[in-house]
Amino acid sequence: MPFLPTPSELTARARADLRVGLPVILGGEGAGLVLLAAETLQPHRLEALRNLGDPVLAITGRRAETLKARAYDGDLARLILPEGADAGWVRAVADPADDLRVPMKGPLISARDGAADLHRLAIALVKSAQLLPAVLAVAVPDAAGFAERVHLTRLVPEATRKDLDRHHALMPVAAARMPMELAEAGRLHIYRPDNGGVEHYAIEVGRPDRDAPVLARLHSACFTGDVLGSLKCDCGPQLRTALATMGQAGAGVLLYLNQEGRGIGLANKMRAYSLQDQGFDTVEANHRLGFEDDERDFRLGADILRRMGFSQARLMTNNPRKVEMLEAEGIAVTERVPLVTPTNRHNQHYLAVKAAKSGHLL
């Protein structure tokens, strides 16, 4: 039937459900899991979850390492909820904000029996919703029947896994001339993924030759640096320097990708900033939150460049990983153009960590 939602549409619906605190069902016609995001957990729903069985709190291996919990499943741990654990306990385990003030969360007992594939998929789902990567889960014998009875979104595991892994094509939505201070001959293009996800932008300066390597930059959105002028990073100066260089050259494309905080979202980025104020560097802060060093997907940039008619680029970046990703996606990078910006006392340590731990060429 044409009105039935596709797997991608169901995944999008599930993200919205989790963000408002609704449960999501993950399972086929047999057994499955009832999921609740730890970040948006409400006490009455935790009680309802307990009535279904014995919930576990799935956290990433990174977060488990911080909590000194056993990650028997390798990249994740399934923590057994202690008797009497409330929503506040769940949040304290998921969110490192008070780790230093209240370091002892345990004893934390990890489940070691049974498969963790669905729990791993559940964590990927909440990550895609830009929530803390921690999920409460309880097994139910009839996932489809339970979802139908209580009118919840149900995701079929294999279809959901494929949907989360694949790159969703970016479709052009609108474009218009936009003169800018740093590049008067500008044009802004809006692209939207075919699953209705967040939009990304291409700022075209001048009329770049489609048959020649285009001066390009993949710039991840940074509200704090680009808009507020934060001194904690180099994002704002990089954005303005790149646009000014393209303006002087007369042509170029800046891809503005909405992957705030290296792909973890602005709220989680602010949590990481708070942890940095406690003495952790940017990579350590991401790990304490349960994320990897960098959660971005640079396939987005390659897709936009191809759709704009470019197959070669002179890439303005200090990050070799961007070059590798574009090359892997079929965009020939003929030159890496260094992007040199001033440092200040607030971002010196941040830049040193980028060079030492993330391989940036500064």
Residues tagged active-site: 294, 296
Distance in angstroms between the alpha carbons of the first and the last residue of the chain = 55
CA dist 17 → 22, 144, 199, 308 (Å):
5, 17, 20, 35
Q: Characterize the bridge pairing of strands 312-316 and 332-337.
A: parallel
For residue 68, the one-letter residue type is K
For residue 98, the one-letter residue type is D
Contact 336, 313 (CB under 8 A): no
What is the SS3 assignment for 358? helix
Q: Characterize the bridge pairing of strands 154-155 and 24-27.
A: parallel
Neighbours of 42 (CB within 10 A): 13
- Report the distance separating Cα 95 and Cα 127, nearest Å: 14
Contact 332, 313 (CB under 8 A): yes
User: How distant is the alpha carbon of residue 90 from its chain centre?
Assistant: 22
Please choose, from the candidates 354, 356, 324, 326, the residue with its C-alpha nearest in 3D space to the C-alpha of residue 339.
Answer: 354
Crossing angle of helices 282-289 and 348-358, rounded to 10°: 70
Cα atoms in the 13 Å half-sphere on the side-chain side of 97? 14
Taking every pair of C-alpha atoms in the chain, what is the biggest distance, in angstroms?
66
- Report the distance separating Cα 60 and Cα 82, nearest Å: 19
What is the SS3 assignment for 187? strand
User: Which residue is listed with tokens 């320097």?
Assistant: 241
